[in-house]
């Protein structure tokens, strides 16, 4: 861990751990968008979106790497990053819904039940982004 990750005064160690894990996950997912998971992520791009699927996957991969890096390296800005990341998770949710409705198989989600179950994880990611960064509920000031 870098000094900036560890030097996260003003938040509890469980939140810091959650933020570091989420940041690491975001970097991994972003790299996956750009490389070995590219086709799987294309299955989540809604057919009604008037953009090239590969462009959407590559652009979102770059954004995800950026979010991960910000979570890991900018602890002083963690609350802002948490709110923006939560909004990002909300913005990409239609892709998960589209994958379910169009019955696209990707990431081992090859049944309607698995794709439906996946939909319930997006609110968990949103909550984790807000909680782990201290964006919401906001931690009380330490005395």
Rounded CA gap, 55 and 46, in Å?
13
Task: Give the model's pLDDT for residue 8.
Answer: 57
The pTM assigned to this predicted structure is: 0.87
Residues near 106 by Cβ (< 8 Å), separated by ≥ 6? 39, 40, 41, 42, 43, 44, 99
Q: Which pLDDT does position 9 carry in this prediction? A: 59
Predicted pLDDT at 67: 98
For the chain of 143 residues, list the mean pLDDT of each consecutive stretch of 10: 52 94 98 96 91 97 98 96 98 93 93 96 97 83 50
Residue-level pLDDT at 141: 52
Question: What confidence score (pLDDT) does residue 10 get?
Answer: 64
- Rounded CA-CA distance 116/83 in Å is 26
């Amino acid at each position: 861990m870098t000094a900036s990750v560890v030097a996260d005064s003003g938040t509890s160690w469980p939140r810091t751990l959650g933020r570091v894990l989420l940041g690491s996950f975001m970097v991994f997912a972003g790299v996956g968008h750009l490389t070995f998971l590219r086709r799987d992520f294309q299955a989540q791009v809604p057919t009604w979106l008037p953009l090239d699927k590969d462009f959407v996957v590559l652009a979102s991969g770059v954004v995800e790497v950026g979010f991960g890096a910000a979570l890991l390296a900018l602890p002083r800005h963690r609350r802002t990053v948490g709110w923006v990341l939560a909004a990002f998770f909300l913005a990409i949710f239609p892709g998960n819904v589209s994958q379910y409705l169009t019955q696209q198989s990707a990431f081992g989600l090859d049944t309607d039940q698995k794709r439906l179950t996946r939909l319930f994880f997006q609110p968990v990611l949103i909550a984790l982004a807000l909680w782990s960064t201290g964006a919401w509920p906001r931690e009380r000031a330490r005395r």
